Structure 1
Amino acid sequence: MHISLLAWGTRGDVEPFVALGMGLQKAGHEVSVAASTDLSDLVTSRGLDFQPFNIDMAAAFNTETSRRWVEKSRGPHREGVHINRVVHEMAPVAAEGLERILSTSDALISGMLTYESALSAAKHLGLKHIRGLMAPMTPTASGEALLYPALSRRHTRANLVLSLLMEAALFQLVRPGGDVIRERLDMPRGTYRGYVQMSRQTPTIVGVSPEVIPPPADWRGLVDVTGYWQVPCPVDYEPPADLADFLAADRPPIYLGFGSMPSSTPQQLWHTVTTALARTGERAVVRFRWQDWQPESEPENIFVIKDAVPFDWLFPRTRGVVHHGGSGTTGTALHAGVPQWVVPHMADQPYFGRRMHQIGVGPAPVPLHKLNADRLAAGITQLTNDRAYRATAARLGERVNAEDGVGRAVAVVERTLC
């Protein structure tokens, strides 16, 4: 059986599918991972077959449409408008790649942005299909397992109604990609009713710890929260000498970075960061996407990462992590057992920021558009000085490290698809 993993998205979206693919391949399955062309090395360096979506996702995130999605998503409605524009622009490329992948696949594991397309195509072609997610997307009455709850700490009908409305809105947002592939396969136009009927019969695996997403009873066993799917750091990894020297020079620094999220005002963000770090007296390892701009100088208390450094190596060597709230970065910080503070930009990031505060490993999230030097300095001070955050993060890290997210996900896949 050939299993195709549809990992559409940025590096943070693709890495968990690479980890899952490695687990499936180790279990004896034929596996390919479909991702954007700029991430081919991430897939092939781990010994997996790569299938391209013919787009450079890093470049695509530098377009005006994508920057607006990242920087102007202030609430579900505004974000929905921007997501719809991005999906419309990328739908033809995604559909072309999916059509090619379908011709060589026996089974599919699709992510959030490919799910609606894969759902109807798999049904039409008689392929087996699982949904693989990095955030909770299934309707529920539980506020702890809902991206945008009415009451985040309650199990209530209001949450269930709101989650059903959000599901309907999401279908309309991602539908353009499905419409293109349905047209290519000479299928009828998709409907929300058909989407719901097929969705309720499709098993889902979520690559997040149950400590973060407690599976609610109303998911009725259709959703399995397995634990994180992480690509391990190579055992022979050697950090850049200047980074190793910085880490050894004084007490451990914090890490501060926002993943693949672009900024149209990097000078302003750099000023905010340097001012806040100067006020707190903290040392920091910093990583941003600068586009065409670079800081003219770097203060002695800041080390700017120019190349990729494995977070599972770096984070345990820090006093805490300030990040955008991507699922993978959140999970790596949990595994490291260090406090973390989320500055969410969009999508599922506010959810993970809220959950990290609720489970007691860091301060309440502050959205990027509200971030300034005063708030950043205050958040860093809380993160590094609150002993309760450190103690809770250490305890939770032990429990998360005891999970076998990939192993459990592989077991679900084998039970469902094979």
Structure 2
Amino acid sequence: MAHHYTSSIHELLSDAPPPYELATPRELIDDSANVQDDGRVDVDVDSRLYRALSRFIPSVPDDATPTPLPRHYKFKKWTVRLNIVIQVVGSRGDVQPFIALGNELRKYGHRVRLATHNIFEDFVRKSGLEFYPIGGDPAQLMAYMVKNPGLIPGMKSLRAGDIQQKRSMVEEMLEGCWKSCIEADKVTGIPFVAEAIIANPPSFAHIHCAQALGVPLHLMFTMPWSSTRVFPHPLANLKGSNTDPRVANYASYWVVEWLAWQGLGDVINKWRKIHDLEPVPATEGPNLAETLKVPFTYCWSPALVPKPADWPSYIDVCGFFFRDPPGYIPPPDLDQFLRAGPPPVYIGFGSIVVDDPDRLSTTILETVKMLRIRAIISRGWSKLAGDQSDDVYYIGDCPHEWLFQHVAAVVHHGGAGTTACGLRYGRPTMVVPFFGDQPFWGNMIHAAGAGPKPIPFKFLSSQNLAEAISYCLTPEAQISAQDIASKMKTESGVEAAAQSFHANLPLELLQCDILPDRPAVWAYKKGNRPVKLSKLAAEILIEYMEVNEKSLKLYESNPILVENHRWDPVTGTLSAALGTGKDILKAATDIVVKPYEAYRDIRLQNARPGSSHSEPRAITSVSPVSDRLSNTDSIDSNALSAKSSDSKNGIHTARVMAAASAKGVGRFFVQYTKGTLVDIPLACTEGLRAVPKLYGEEVKDYGNVKDWKTGMTIAGKMFVHGTVEGVADIFVQPYKGGKEEGAWGVAKGIGKGSIGGAAKISSAAMGLVAYPGKGISRSIHAAINAKTRSNIMKAMHEEGQTLFRNTEGLDHAAVIKAFDKLRKGIDQH
């Protein structure tokens, strides 16, 4: 029996995380991944990181089928009109699909603002959408990505300062995205506060903006960004043979996200601190969207890449986003070229910026001559050059929706938008990928038979380009491309994406209690149940003095809390202790470093031209003795004045240095107290609470700690339930095990009951301290850091006042009457 019991314990712990190793996430990644010159991340699936992550991949039945868009997605009418900001980072090809989406959302009555790079302002505004500039230069971004197509920059880029330039650009775009949520239109001055956010993942600010506002977030992208067993992350090149390919595919998303977070996590957390948000833990940042179950819509055709079966219902594949074909009349010379011979091959690389455009132009022209074909060459952002001839036509800006109807095949960089347009018209496609999702689309096209295997740009030659184009012109490739096009005709990606967006909104939580066609942004609470008020309803009530402005609190229709999840008590407690030690050490260092920095800043300030200490003291040369005596008195007076000034400056400097040191001392005690009384006990409590997960048991969710009240409530619930369940497990688990597996099940049940019972009782007891401490910490943080909330409230009132002044035909008396009725109901309650 003792042998069986020992084996049972071993089996119980076989699914536990690997023993804690004193290795940083950076070391684990270095052990598992290398970035090649072409940007692909070579990932060793036999590494420590993969072995660690593979233990936490959820199981999915082999016969699972993907969840399609439910029928209830088909809305005839949407009742709540929202302010929606769409945040997009990328090239014109990334922006264009969201213009189509924005115009579709306007049909539902929404107000839509597209926030993207300044260069696209005319493009967006002429499409009928509002625009907000977020900064960032897409041309510089594309040039950087061509030189550093992976996630880690090369030495050449490091020496040139490219990585710092990119980080600075990200800082600028983070702030631009935030301002796009709360600032008025730059042209019209009309106030705007976002009530929902749609974004592509590279915009980075999306989750953090949604958390600050408490509004729904929906991510949309042209590239797989959600973990799946079906295919690896497009940026991952898996190596190794000892791991199940499905497990390796799934974990590749985690590794790539880890790499990205290592480069930008500190930038994001610095920005979060400015906007009164707590830092995202290093273990949570990489997969925050998946942890929070943020709805995701992928805008590609399921005819090309079907939805994987292991993606949950809140992830959809809706189809490519196409805008209405623009009215376009070709210039006479282009029209004449198209009529002068057989359909040409389109060759263009859009927004890609290459270092040697002349070499690329030569390669293309040699290929055209070798194959004796006609070609339309797009100059693009690389400004490809050459002389036009009977067989070659150079083109500038021309809508692909029109042009691709007149070509035989398309050769491009593999951007999702260009890929979609070519396949939409049944054109065989050859992809020359540079970075990002481009290799993925090239491989998908090749797998469907609609094009050759993609050729990475650095391996491109006139010989292999000629072979690839020759394949595109075969009947087999043309038939495959036409087959995809016929399936795509039955899809409406933009409409399906809009329906997916609406289906994932919390409608009941969104609606104003008085004006149900408007979203609630304020909470008026008197009693146990708040009244949810829209901007307009609140301003009407304030205007007629039914409510006081100070009695309104911000209402969050989609509250987001970032928790630091723990796998087990050992790793959880140790990592919290290490984190606390790091924070305490930094605070202790600040006691000495910060005064020196303050002293240095004062010295630099005094040394600047124009400061009192940098100006020379002029002495006038005079000859008469009386004048010299008088001047001597003046000199003595100036010297005394300067001495007095230096004394005052010295006292000021000492005060500033002492204040800086005092702040360091304060931070030291804050970090020590928070770490020992909150972070470490909480990590141990959460780790103990997670122990039953290690042997497949569900762990009860008691909710999130938002403030001291919820902290006390959760601590009480957990103490009662945890104690009762822990004691019961000692008897229940052996009984369940015996019923399912006989004597062996009883032995396993004894092990589960002993381990799980001890963990539950211990976590219940420690939770009495940990959860109230966490709640108090969050309440203090919210009270001290209220600037962002104050700015949001101010912007809310400004928009509400504008709505109040400009809304006609609304019965204000009916609004007041409805509010009085709700308020009386609350009082009676």
How does the TM-score come out when normalised to structure 2? Answer: 0.47
Aligned position for 2:495: 407
Aligned 8 A contact 2:319 2:491 in 1:
yes
Which whole-Å deviations, capped at 9, do the CAs of 1:225-246 have from their partners, x for residues lacking one? 1101122222x32112211111
**How far apart are residue 162 of structure 1 and its match?**
2.0
**Is 2:295 the partner of 1:203?**
yes
Q: In proportion to residue count, which structure has more helix?
A: 2
- Alpha-carbon separation, structure 2, partners of 1:402 and 1:16: 18
CA contact (8 A) 1:229 1:406 kept: yes
Q: Secondary structure at the match of 2:236?
A: coil
Correspondence list, 1:153-172, <5 A: 156-172=246-262
Quote the Cα distance in structure 2 between the aligned partners of 1:68 and 1:278.
32
Which of the numbers 43, 56, 69 marks the counterpart of 2:145? 69
Question: Between Structure 1 and Structure 2, how many residues are aligned?
Answer: 405
Deviation at 1:367, TM superposition (A): 0.3
Cα 1:177–1:30 shift into 2, 3 Å? farther
Q: Choose the corresponding residue for 1:416, options 501, 504, 508.
A: 504
1:165-189 Cα shifts (integer Å, max 9, x gaps): 1222233344355234313202222
Q: Distance in 1 between matches of 2:425 and 2:267?
A: 37
1:84–1:173 contact (8 Å) kept in structure 2: no
1:33 aligns with 2:85: no
Q: Which amino acid aligns with 2:181?
A: L
Aligned: 1:133 with 2:225: no
Structure 2 CA distance, aligned partners of 1:409 and 1:8? 19
The superposition leaves residues 199-244 of structure 1 with CA deviations (integer Å, 9 ceiling, x where unpaired) of 331000111111233211211223111101122222x321122111
Q: Is the 8 A contact 2:413 2:431 kept in 1?
A: yes
CA radius of gyration, larger in: 2
Question: By how many angstroms is 1:253 displaced?
Answer: 0.3
Contact 2:234–2:439, Cα closer than 8 Å, also in 1: no
Return the alpha-carbon distance in structure 2 between the equivalents of residues 282 and 408 of structure 1: 40
Q: Corresponding residue for 2:385?
A: 295
The match for 2:446 among 352, 357, 362 is 357
What's the % identity of the aligned pairs? 29
Partner of 2:482: 394
Secondary structure at the counterpart of residue 410 of structure 1 = helix
Give, in whole Å, the separation in 2 of the partners of 1:210 and 1:192: 35
**Pairwise mapping of residues 262-281 of structure 1 onto structure 2 (< 5 A)?**
262-281=353-372
The answer on whether the counterparts of 1:121 and 1:182 sit within 8 Å (CA) in structure 2 is: no
* Distance (whole Å) between structure 1 residues aligned to residue 288 and residue 458 of structure 2: 38
In structure 2, relative to structure 1, the CA distance for the partners of 1:294 and 1:167 (3 Å cut) is: closer
Partners of 2:213 and 2:151 lie apart in 1 by: 34
**AA partner of residue 5 (structure 1):** I
Report if aligned partners of 1:144, 1:213 keep a CA contact under 8 Å in 2: no
Q: For structure 1, which runs of at least 5 residues remain unmatched after alignment?
A: none
Which residue of structure 2 aligns with residue 101 of structure 1? 180
Q: 1:15 aligns with which of 81, 96, 119?
A: 96
CA contact (8 A) 2:413 2:438 kept: yes
Residue of structure 1 in register with 2:130 after alignment:
49
C-alpha distance after superposition, 1:131-161 (max 9, x if no partner): 111111111111177553649xx96112112
SS state at 1:219 partner: coil
Aligned to 1:304: 394
* Distance 1:23-1:245 versus aligned 2 partners, 3 A rule: same
Residues 363-388 of structure 1: CA deviation (Å, up to 9, x unaligned) = 0000000001111111111211x211
Equivalent residue number for residue 323 of structure 2: 231
CA distance in 2, matches of 1:325, 1:296: 23
Structure-2 separation of matches of 1:135 and 1:119: 18
- Tell whether the 8 Å contact from 1:95 to 1:180 is kept in structure 2 after alignment: no
- Alpha carbons 2:229, 2:250 under 8 Å: kept: yes
> What TM-score comes out, normalization by structure 1 length?
0.90
Q: Which of 166, 182, 194 matches 2:284? A: 194
Aligned to 2:203, what secondary structure does the other structure show? Answer: helix
CA displacement, residues 330-352 of structure 1 (integer Å, 9 cap, x when unaligned): 11111011100000001110111
Specify the alignment match of 2:702 in structure 1: none
Following the alignment from structure 2 to structure 1, what is the Cα–Cα distance between the partners of residues 312 and 119?
39
Deviation at 1:262, TM superposition (A): 0.7
Q: Distance in 1 between matches of 2:499 and 2:456?
A: 37
Paired amino acid for 2:379: F
Which fold has the larger relative contact order, with Cα–Cα distance below 8 Å and residues 6 or more apart in sequence?
Answer: 1
Q: Which moved more, 1:170-179 or 1:248-257?
A: 170-179
- Closer, same or farther: CA 112–174 of 1 in aligned 2, 3 Å: farther
Match for residue 143 of structure 1 among 200, 213, 231 = 231
Q: Residues 205, 177 of structure 1: CA spacing in aligned structure 2 closer, same or farther, 3 A cutoff?
A: farther
